[in-house]
Amino acid sequence: MRWFSIVAIAVVVSLVGCSSPDDVPAISSTESRAESPDRVQRVRDDIDAAVASGVSGVIATLTENGETTTLAAGVGDRATGVPIPAEPPQQVRVGSVSKSFIAAIVLQLVTEGRIQLDEPIDTYLPGSIVGDSVDGRVITVRQILQHRSGLPEFADSPEIDEYGAALDGRTFTPDDQLAIALRRPAQFAPGARFTYTNTNYLLAAMLVERITGRPYTDALQDRIIRPLGLTGTYLPATGEHDIRGPHPRGYAPINGIRTDVTRIEPSVPWAAGALVSTGDDLNRYFLDLVAGKVVAAPELQQMLAALPTGVDGMPEYGLGVMSAELSCGTSYMAILTRALCP
């Protein structure tokens, strides 16, 4: 089975008041020796099309046979109109890609015999998951990693606003987030179906902390970031609103107005979505992951054993990763913006 890694991140999205294509700078790119020029061109065409459609900027990092190519299109700051540079590697908030890192650490702990996937979460976090039709004694660790727990979604609550929290100086603890989630009833009985829910990975990171006896950031650093040499990857601390390294600005519509939302409060998404990384680092991580350098083979097989989600347009979901197989036999992880056959 062949894996080809492309990480493409639409880093500066403008859905309101978009410029015309003529107002957006042409693609800026750097290229190392590429094994598949046609594939690189197709990705280049894709990101140019994204910018033409109104996305302010895109960075795409392609790695194949040990060679990496970085492409960039559009602007990294709408105020200045400066194009996104392809080099040095740009740091961006990678959102729910963060969940794969949590799942990998949990599976490392499974390998070590410290967690069992089919054990109830209450075994490890006793008495913590109790609410309206919510009972941690009948929700397994595997169901949490698969988004099949039925737990309510903390991110549905109005106070969960990472941009607004940064403006107001509000912060959250994982216990705060869990309490917010448990105000709501369960979405369904454990195992009944798939529903993507951030609360699952909030709990998974809390599980890592309980088992290791250390902050999640320490486990992340010691188990993945440092061993793999991911020099551009980190989980921001509570109150750390800015991105540390070179980065583009990020925009989103708020009340119909395109707003710079680059600065956020990272304790809101926390481990489930606040990770900062680069395309280079993410490609290294995912290629090392499927090569068995992050998670041991038996647990990696379970991680990649994806089930149908029952959601139109959504690939199958394993443990912290989506995946699918193309008609040409190439497998890909669905965090990738485009999967290309050789």
pLDDT band at 37 (very low <50, low <70, confident <90, very high): confident
Q: What would the two tokens of residue 166 be? A: 């940064």
Structurally, the chain folds into a number of domains equal to 2
Question: 182 and 288: one domain?
Answer: no
Kindly state the tokens that stand for 73. 């299109």
Q: Is residue 15 part of a domain?
A: yes
Q: What is the mean pLDDT of the segment spanning 5-14?
A: 42
Range of the domain at 154: 97-228
- Provide DSSP, 23-51: GSPPPEEEE---S-HHHHHHHHHHHHHHH
Q: Which two tokens stand for residue 337?
A: 């913006």
Residue 336: which pLDDT band, with cuts at 50, 70 and 90? very low
pLDDT of residue 38: 85
* Ramachandran assignment for 237, one of left (phi > 0), alpha (psi -120 to 50 degrees), beta (any other): beta
Please report, for the domain that includes residue 269, its CATH number: 3.40.710.10
89 shares a domain with 179:
no
Same domain assignment for residues 222 and 122: yes
Torsion, CA 335, CA 238, CA 170, CA 204, rounded to 10: 50
Do residues 202 and 181 make contact, with C-beta atoms less than 8 angstroms apart? yes
Domain presence at residue 317 = no
Domain boundary among 228, 256, 277: 228
How many H-runs (helices) and E-runs (strands) does the chain carry? 10, 14
Report residue 53 as tokens: 């459609």
Domain boundary, last residue among 179, 194, 228: 228
Beta bridge partners of 281: none
Instruction: Identify whether 155 is part of a domain.
Output: yes
| Cα–Cα dist 83/26, whole Å | 8
**In this structure, are residues 143 and 190 in contact, taking their beta carbons and an 8 Å threshold?**
yes
**Averaged pLDDT score across all residues of the chain:** 87
Tens digits of residue pLDDT in 260-299: 999 999 999 999 999 999 999 999 999 999 999 999 999 9
Q: Are residues 34 and 118 in the same domain?
A: no
Both tokens assigned to 87? 């080099």
Q: With respect to residue 302, please indicate whether it lies within any of the assigned structural domains.
A: no
Is 275 in the same domain as 198?
no
What does the block give as tokens for 265? 């409060």
Give the type of residue at 182.
L
Pair of tokens at residue 47 = 């990101």
Q: Would you state the pLDDT for residue 333?
A: 65
For residue 220, the SS3 value is: helix
If one counts every other C-beta atom within 10 angstroms of the C-beta of residue 281, the result is 24
- The answer on 57 and 42 residing in a single domain is yes
Mean pLDDT of the 239-258 span:
94
Tell me the residue type at 100: S
Q: Are residues 143 and 222 in the same domain?
A: yes
DSSP state of 123: G
State the Cα–Cα distance between residues 227 and 288, nearest whole angstrom.
11
Residue 300 falls inside a structural domain: no
Which residue is listed with tokens 């309101």? 16
Q: Are residues 153 and 275 in the same domain?
A: no
Residues 6+ apart with CB under 8 A from 328: 341, 342
Whether residues 106 and 223 fall in one domain = yes
The confidence score (pLDDT) of residue 313 equals 80
pLDDT (0 to 100) of residue 64: 83
Tell me, yes or no, whether 66 lies in a domain. yes
List pLDDT tens digits, range 188-230. Answer: 999 999 999 999 999 999 999 999 999 999 999 999 999 999 9
**Same domain as 191, residue 261:** no
Residue 308 in any domain: the answer is: no
303 token code pair: 């991680």
